[in-house]
Structure 1
Amino acid sequence: MNDRLLRPIKDRLNLMLGRAIVRLVKDSGALQLIQADRSADEPADDLERFGWYGFHSVPHEGAEAIVASLGGSRSHGVVIACEDRRYRLTGMAAGEVALADDLGQVVYLTRDGLRITSPLKIDIELPEVTVTTNVYTVDADQTSFFGDVSIGGNLDVDGNSDLGNGATKFVKLADNSNATTVKAK
């Protein structure tokens, strides 16, 4: 066929997918809108960003995007993927999955189990929690409980414990034996 006849079709196909650099994100509407630079001389406003149901993020300025131009028309672009190599986790094994941000907060499904790390405080708000496990270890400088605590088995205390007024006090003696003192109310 004549190259002159195929040229418009080739041009539209070449315009269907392209890279862009994110400049601004509007996250207040029902669909996130992105302003991005497709090239040095081609800014694009109000590109609709499509993501996966249940996963939400706001990319930083400078993140990279893949923009699809529907029907090859640059006037109707949609962002189908965003990546920010500045904050990408590396060194993961095949099959591993992670959710991470730029602050170092990570939920990591490793080949050995689930790992959650954060340099920030973690708040968990749930109406009820049930943990079923063979061993449960808490390694903390200080642990606090508020409200009633029920223990359905033995309590093994390694060290001193003061259970409050009117409660039994357990003290670990220098020879590693235990002394028990009952406080009066």
Structure 2
Amino acid sequence: MNDEVISRLLAPVMRGVRLLFGRGVLTGTTDTMKIQNVQITGMDGETFDDVERPQQYGQISVPLPGAEVFLACAGGQRDQAVVLVVEDRRSRPTGLTAGDTGVYHHEGHRIRLTKNGRIIVTCKTLEIYADEGVQVDTPEAHFTGNVTVDKNLHVKGNVSIDGTGRSQGTFTMSEAVIAGITYSGHVHHDNGEGSKTGGPENG
């Protein structure tokens, strides 16, 4: 059996192998269905409509037009294509450390999991909506900017203030120590006479 005969016999097989996989450019996305569908233009101009794009459980995304698509075709049938991977080199973060993982948006905000137990969130605005509550269990929390509390603030431990303070409301305290003197029990001389006044009284 010569090479020509072998090539002729293998031609259908090789053609089927070439049809198993493909790559192209995303042209559109339909995200209203149970499984996201996309439209793709292949490298040779071949068009793919309503191609299913399965996503990992718990993860969702809608890629931008122009992203690169890698697909597989069951049995080499081009009308049975399914998306394997979508990549967008225009916005993918680079320069990560080996072992890093993350989630990113094409506008630049992202979540990065890196070494030494660090999670870095980079964004313009961070919004948290919790119906029942938020608990932060950490030895220390540090805010570098201003903090505004719209409702009540309950502190069980001590409060230390290095700067000045201002109040537009009323403070109710069981005791106060000002400049080392207990406010509720302090006395002073009564108009220069030898006797001393009593402590402050409720007005």
Do they fold alike, i.e. is TM over 0.5? yes
Aligned to 2:83: 79
Structure 2 gap segments, 5+ residues each: 173-178, 184-201
Give the Cα separation in 2 of the matches to 1:163 and 1:9.
83
Q: CA deviation at 1:10?
A: 1.2
Cα deviation, residue 125, structure 1 = 0.8
Which of 21, 24, 33 pairs up with 2:25? 21
Superposition TM-score, scaled by structure 2 size = 0.78
What is the CA–CA distance in structure 2 between the aligned matches of 1:164 and 1:157, rounded to whole Å? 18
Task: Tell me which of 56, 66, 69 is aligned to 1:62.
Answer: 66
Residue 104, structure 1, aligned to residue 108, structure 2: yes
Which protein is richer in helix relative to its size? 2
Q: Deviations over 1:84-140 (max 9, x none)?
A: 000101111111101001111111101130010102x22101121221222210111
Q: SS where residue 11 of structure 1 aligns?
A: helix
Provide the identity percentage.
30
Q: How many residues align?
A: 174
Aligned to 1:30: 34
Structure 1 distance, partners of 2:139, 2:45, is: 61
Q: Please tell me whether residue 130 in structure 1 is matched to residue 135 in structure 2.
A: yes
More strand by share: 1
TM-score (norm. length: structure 1):
0.85
| 1:117 aligned partner | 122
Q: Which residue of structure 1 lines up, in the alignment, with residue 154 of structure 2?
A: 150
Q: Does 1:94 align with 2:81?
A: no
**1:51·1:80 contact (CA, 8 Å) conserved in 2?**
no
